[in-house]
Structure 1
Amino acid sequence: MTPSSPVATTVLHPDRLLPADDATRAIARDLYDSVADAPIISPHGHVSPDLLREDRPFADPAELFIVHDHYVTRILRSAGVDLADLGAGGGPYDPREVWRAFASRWELFAGTASGYWLRDEFVELFGLREEPSADRADAHFDAISGQLRLAEYRPRALFERFAIDVLATTDDPLDDLSAHRELAADATLRGRVLPTFRPDAYLDPQAPSFVSRTEALAAWSGSPVADYDAYLDGLRARREYFIAHGAVSADHGVRQPFTVELEHDEAARLYRRAVSGRLSEDEAEVFAGHMLLMSAEMSVRDGLVMTVHPGVLRNHSTETFAAYGPDTGHDIPVATEYTRALRPLLQRFGTAADFHLILFTVDETVYSREIAPLAGFYPSVFIGAPWWFLDAPDAIQRFRSATTETAGFYNGSGFIDDTRAFLSIPARHDAARRSDAGFLARYVREGRLSIRQAERIALDLVDAIPRRAFKL
């Protein structure tokens, strides 16, 4: 009789992600322990406020871990899994079959950030000690499903368990923010849930919905859609509405951080052409660059932190976009330039009092060449945390090495999870804390920091630094 193969078990090493050599690891372990249980500050992300307002039980493991997480679905797609079979685009799907497709391909996630976070979630939240596999797919599906029916696995209970102090969402400028009003008025919910003003579709004439969005803005303000000044006033008014509901930042997802200052009449002319759908591609880029600069002017006036997330070619697969829509795993990074592109904006507002501009990138080459030097001079500029494809443990180490010697630790934003996957938030923050503890420990061992300095910085990276950058 042939013996069965041993079951692959999952054990989370207590010193995971910490340095390999014993002496540095010992220092890193102490630094990590000092911040491991600190509250989570998540000032930029994409969790819906309705998740907490409605507090409904999660439907099933597939809906929770796979269907809405393009970090996961893109890897499965790379192995030939049809996105339709994963529930892409809101289509029907069989949760158990989705889970089986994932579990039978678990080896695809080895070494990836997604695999690291998922393993952390499976063990820490659900106590799964065996690696996902085709053989154990149904057993794991049933085990997680059973726990999801328990009160302690509903969104609010997990929000408390995760010790989230601040959670920012991403919201359309015309959203009525009713979910945020209800959450803010609920004294039983500890921690703040803040809206974030996301105006991309209202500023970029190349956005597919630009005309309909500007028409809706004009209807809300009761002004003619072709009136450029009324358009600006409408954006300002909606920003004030967000501020009144707790918003601290406005987020801009642009292809390139290009800025240009136009004379008023030229901007008005381009705007009129934009709302009539008659702008050329070059004109559209100029107008969008002008509106990015105008958004900075608005932030100087109203105090909203300005975050800029550039450098992604959205919807790279036209076929996939047509079938399933956006956010389905085929947004691909491109090279990004900041120094010249942002100069018009920084010439006007780089030293403006209380203006905060947080620059993100998915182009690692610009950390040491452009972003860190900009943050090391302009009081308004902060280095955004490693984002998206760069939020993995090794990439975080490279980020620290690329930026610290030029701009230090205190010109940054602190870690930002930038996620739709609610259950991954503590895993992501824990990975960043471990990575930073290892980086600081190396500096201590090399005589570049004292242990007291490292202890202070470790704490500030998870508390004082994000609070300062996002005006919390």
Structure 2
Amino acid sequence: MTPTSERPPADRGWSWHPDRALPADPGVRAVARQVLDATQGLPIISMHGHVDATMLALDAAFPDPATLLVTPDHYITRMLVSQATSPGPVRDAGVRSPADLGVGPGADADPREIWRRFCAGWTALRATPTRYWLEHVLHDVFEASVAPSPETADDLFDHIAERLARPEYRPRALFERFGIEVLATTDPPDSPLDAHAALAADGWGGRVIPTFRPDVLLEPGLAGWRGELDRLSAAAEIDAHSYDGFHDALRARRQAFIRAGARATDHGHLRADTTRLSAADARALFAAALREPLAAEASAALTAHLLFEQAAMSADDGLVMQLHTGVLRDHDRGAAAAHGPNIGFDIPVAGEFTRGLRPVLEAFGSHENFRLIVFTVDETVSSRELAPLAGAYPAMRLGAPWWFLDAPDAMRRFREAVTETAGLRNTSGFVDDTRAFCSIPARHDLARRADASYLARLVAEHRLDFDEAIDTAIDLAYRLPKESYPVPETAARPLPETVA
């Protein structure tokens, strides 16, 4: 129960506290408030996410609350599905699988019924960052006066649906309202980038930019790898069915992304191994993969080599290399077959970076044109491996707490684990890593509160001056994301004829 002194008046309806996620100690909280004030009005630099650029290019009204807020958000769907066999409101509401929340082929198509199930499961989200983000979205973005519950579900659905019909709730209007300065999407290597071209033609060039993600091409053990080569060849207009042609096609596509405004690549493999093979061994494995899918060990070896080659390309063309590793995708293979990928069954594994990144860092760790940003969901390696690496190699920065660590206590643990070894300026600033467009300001708000809380403690312990805390908060919220993802210098270079 909320303490009486802090309980909102009964006639105010649903509200939430302005000091949410700030320290409990009154003295430290007062400092954190002042630090937070310095960042609250700053624009959002969203340099890694999964929002669909087509949504912004079309700028059509969102269809309904469930399609916008529930079905595409695997943070919500995974939590509700995890309660599907337990006695309680989620099971009582009829949630048995992701399909009951609109996910996958044959899913329930009734948005209102999906919304009712979500509202019935609201209590399952207590104390999670998902709950925090949703409260922000519902309260601040959609001006809801009541919290989700079985009793309020229909009225809340109608309230949000009415808002979505207004012009000021279309994607571009919300983009402006959210204060987003730059939004990076994540795009497959064969993407025609049509939506980005349309946005640029409308004067949005440089505001919504693509990110090059070639994972499917660097995993020769996948059964569909040959088909990916066909698509790469068509997109690049270069035959990618040979070792040299493959790399030429990738270079061509990277240049196409740079012309569309890209600043980074993104790599989401299971391991961070970048061991380079001899030229003869690499060519032999590539040729073998063209004949049939490689065995696991050989496939992992070729992936590591190809990841090294991507680093070499980044050192040449200036695209920042983002490395997100350590997640076993589609842990429930039956659920993935039935409902599709990205439904919440991606589970972290232990990471290893010291040996895995050594080949790339020895080759490019001091290269002036190379920048590597490393993310992890394995907290145990942050202080042991990643902070010492980032504190030594000029090219490396640490990415923000990501995915399952995108939460208040995990953000605090991250700062405590890495700052004393890597410092603050060897981190990249916050990335929201979301498909849930309306949650972007909520996620950045929470990150700014977590950083304000950490910096306030340093001030209270006389480890940092107050003015330095203010300046650092602005660094973390705004300056460092811009510095960490510069525009590639190659964007201004004349292009070779093969990629013009």
TM-score class, shorter:
over 0.9
Tell me the equivalent position of 2:491: none
Match of residue 78 from structure 1: 82
Which residue, out of 56, 61, 70, partners 2:65?
61
Equivalent position to 1:47, from 32, 48, 51? 51
Q: 2:256 is paired with a residue of what secondary structure?
A: helix
Structure 1 residues 224 and 246: alpha-carbon distance in aligned structure 2, compared to 1, 3 A threshold? closer
Superposed CA offset, 1:334-366 (max 9, x none): 111000111111111111112100000000111
In 1, are the aligned partners of 2:77 and 2:343 still within 8 Å (CA)? Answer: yes
Q: How far, CA to CA, are the matches of 2:187 and 2:380 in structure 1? A: 30
Q: 2:325 aligns with which of 284, 287, 310?
A: 310
- Aligned match for 1:128, one of 136, 140, 144: 144
| Equivalent position SS for 2:45 | strand
1:407 match: 422
Confirm or deny that 1:101 pairs with 2:117. Answer: yes
2:280 is aligned to 265
Please give the alpha-carbon distance, in whole angstroms, between the structure 2 residues aligned to 1:226 and 1:243: 24
Please give the alpha-carbon distance, in whole angstroms, between the structure 2 residues aligned to 1:191 and 1:148. 27
Post-superposition offset of 1:10 = 3.1
The alpha carbon displacement at 1:378 in A equals 0.2
Q: 1:105 to 1:270 in 2, by over 3 A?
A: same
Aligned to 1:137: 153
The correspondence for 2:347, drawn from 320, 323, 332, is 332
Q: Aligned with 2:51: secondary structure?
A: coil
8 Å Cα contact 1:359/1:383 also seen in 2:
yes
Give the Cα–Cα distance (whole angstroms) in 1 for the partners of residues 135 and 223 of structure 2. 38
Q: Which runs of 5+ in 2 are unaligned?
A: 1-9, 85-94, 488-500
The SS at the match of 1:358 is strand
Query: What secondary structure is seen at the aligned counterpart in 2 of 1:423?
Result: helix
Letter in 1 for 2:79: I
Given candidates 125, 129, 134, the residue that maps to 1:113 is 129
SS of residue matched to 2:200: helix
Is 1:417 aligned with 2:432? yes
Q: 1:468 offset after TM fit, Å?
A: 1.0
The aligned counterpart of 1:193 is 208
CA distance in 1, matches of 2:172, 2:103: 26
SS in 1 for 2:322: strand
Paired amino acid for 1:44: H
Match of 1:136, as an amino acid?
T
Q: C-alpha distance in 1, partners of 2:239/2:62?
A: 44
Q: Where does the alignment leave 5 or more consecutive residues of structure 1 unmatched? A: 1-5
Contact kept? 1:60, 1:95, Cα under 8 Å: yes
**Counterpart of 1:3?**
none
Partner of 1:161: 177
Shift of 1:407: 0.9
The alpha-carbon distance between structure 1 residues 130 and 363, as it changes in their structure 2 partners (threshold 3 A), is same
| Residues in 2 aligned to 1:179 and 1:278: alpha-carbon distance in whole angstroms | 33
- Mapped to 2, the partners of 1:278 and 1:39 lie a distance apart of 46
Mapped partners of 1:320, 1:199: distance in 2: 25
Is 1:11 matched up with 2:34? no
Shift of 1:7: 11
Relative to structure 2, which stretch is displaced further, 458-467 or 410-419?
458-467
Secondary structure, counterpart of 1:368 in structure 2: helix
Which residue number corresponds to residue 382 of structure 2?
367
Could you tell me how far 1:282 is from its partner in structure 2? 0.8
- Are 1:285 and 2:289 matched, yes or no? no
Task: Name the residue aligned to 2:31.
Answer: 27
Deviates more, 1:286-295 or 1:338-347: 338-347
Identity %: 50
Distance 2:205 2:366 in 1: 36
Structure 1: which amino acid aligns with 2:54?
D
Give matches, 1:238-257, under 5 Å. Answer: 238-257=253-272
Give the distance between the partners of 1:222 and 1:179, measured in 2 at CA: 20
Superposed CA offset, 1:402-424 (max 9, x none):
11111111001100000000000
Give the partner amino acid of 1:64.
L
Check the 8 A contact 1:376/1:411 in 2, yes or no.
Answer: yes
Q: How far 1:8 sits from its partner (Å)?
A: 11
Residue 278 of structure 1, CA deviation: 4.4
Deviations, residues 88-146 of structure 1 (Å, cap 9, x unaligned):
11544110110110101110000001011001111101222222111111111111111
The match for 2:391 is 376
Determine if the alignment matches structure 1 residue 36 to structure 2 residue 40. yes
Report the residue type matching 1:285 in the other structure.
A
Give distance in 1, aligned partners of 2:143 and 2:461. 39
* C-alpha spacing 1:119/1:190, structure 2 compared with 1 (3 Å): farther
Deviation at 1:318, TM superposition (A): 1.0
What amino acid does structure 2 have at the position aligned with 1:181? A
Query: Take 2:52 and 2:425, find their aligned partners in 1: how far apart are those partners?
Result: 30
- The answer to whether the 8 A contact 2:50-2:186 is kept is yes
Alignment coverage as a number of residue pairs = 466
What RMSD in Å do the two structures reach over aligned CA positions? 1.5
Instruction: Give per-residue Cα distances to partners, 1:270-325, cap 9 Å, x unaligned.
Output: 11111222422111000000001000000000000000000100000011011011
Normalised TM-score (structure 1): 0.96
**SS of residue in 2 equivalent to 1:181:** helix
How far 1:183 sits from its partner (Å)?
0.9
> Deviation digits for residues 408-451 of structure 1, max 9, x if unmatched?
11001100000000000000000000110111010011111101
**Partners of 2:454 and 2:207 in 1: how far apart?**
30
Aligned pair in 2 of structure 1 residues 282, 181: CA closer, same or farther (>3 Å)? same
1:298 aligned onto 2:313: yes
Paired AA for residue 405 in structure 1: E
TM-superposed deviation, 1:11: 1.8
Kindly provide the amino acid, as one letter, of the partner of residue 28 in structure 2. Answer: T
Q: Is the 8 A contact 1:393 1:435 kept in 2?
A: yes
